[in-house]
């Protein structure tokens, strides 16, 4: 991960957060959450930095990061496209929706588009099975009964709306 001014700022903010937790026990998960919120994911440099700051071994940090699936060790796009691959969505063609997203964006699953705007991820049941197949973009944009033909239009919305 390149170190640029923006990243220096992010490290400073992380330092501040750690400073506020000084003296408290069991703060590793909180710090990792904060780091992921700041950086968008947890590159190994950031994990090592946290290990040093909290005086724990890098393998302890790595162990926690890989144990919980809400931590990510890969970069993610600005708009994370989460396609539900749970049973209800799968039987209604979620795999074809996934294929269309991947081919329209020219990426493989988990990869970030060159402009950094999108990454596509298969996820477990999103709890909206009656709307299957379901796609979630970001944290709150739900799309139900999605067909492959709807995919270009959905993508366009985020391309136009993004920077
Ligand atoms: S299986 Fe897709 S929302 Fe439940």
In a domain, 72, yes or no: no
Write out 71-119 in H/E/C secondary structure. Answer: CCCCCCCCEEEEEECCHHHHHCCHHHHHHHHHHHHCCCCCCECCCCCEE
Q: Are residues 91 and 36 in the same domain?
A: no
Q: Which residue has the higher pLDDT, 59 or 110?
A: 59
Q: What is the pTM of this model?
A: 0.69
| CB of residue 155 inside a 6 A radius of ligand 1 | no
Average model confidence (pLDDT) for the chain?
A: 92
**CB 77 less than 6 A from any atom of ligand 1:** no
Average pLDDT (70-90) is 91
Domain span at residue 24?
Answer: 5-67
Pairwise pLDDT comparison (149 vs 3), residue with the higher score: 149
Evaluate: CB of 136 within 6 angstroms of ligand 1.
no
Q: Going by CA atoms, what residue is nearest to atom 1 of ligand 1?
A: 86
What's the CA-to-centroid distance between 71 and ligand 1, angstroms?
22
Give pLDDT, residue 163. Answer: 47
* Burial zone of 26 (CB within 10 Å; 0-12 exposed, 13-18 middle, 19+ buried): exposed
Give, for ligand 1, the residue of 82, 93, 121, 125 to mutate: max count of ligand atoms closer than 8 Å to Cβ.
125
Looking at residue 162, what is its pLDDT? 52
Q: Please check whether residues 129 and 151 belong to one and the same domain.
A: yes
- For residues 106 and 144, state if they share a domain: yes
- Ligand 1 within 6 A of CB of 146: no
pLDDT band per the 50, 70, 90 thresholds, residue 2: low
pLDDT at 37 over 60: yes
Q: How many domains does the chain have?
A: 2
């Amino acid at each position: 991960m390149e170190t640029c001014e923006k990243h220096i700022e992010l490290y400073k903010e992380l330092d501040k957060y750690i400073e506020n937790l000084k003296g408290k026990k069991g703060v590793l998960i909180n710090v990792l959450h904060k780091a992921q919120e700041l950086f968008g994911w947890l590159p190994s440099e950031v994990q090592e930095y946290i290990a040093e700051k909290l005086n724990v071994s890098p393998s302890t940090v790595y162990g926690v990061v890989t144990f919980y699936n809400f931590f990510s060790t890969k970069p993610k796009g600005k708009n994370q496209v989460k396609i539900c691959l749970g049973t209800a969505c799968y039987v209604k063609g979620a795999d074809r929706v996934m294929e269309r997203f991947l081919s329209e964006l020219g990426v493989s699953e988990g990869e970030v588009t060159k402009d950094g705007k999108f990454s596509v991820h298969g996820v477990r049941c999103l709890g909206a099975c009656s709307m299957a197949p379901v796609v979630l973009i970001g944290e709150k944009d739900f799309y139900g009964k999605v067909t492959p033909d709807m995919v270009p239009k959905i993508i366009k919305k985020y391309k136009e709306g993004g920077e």
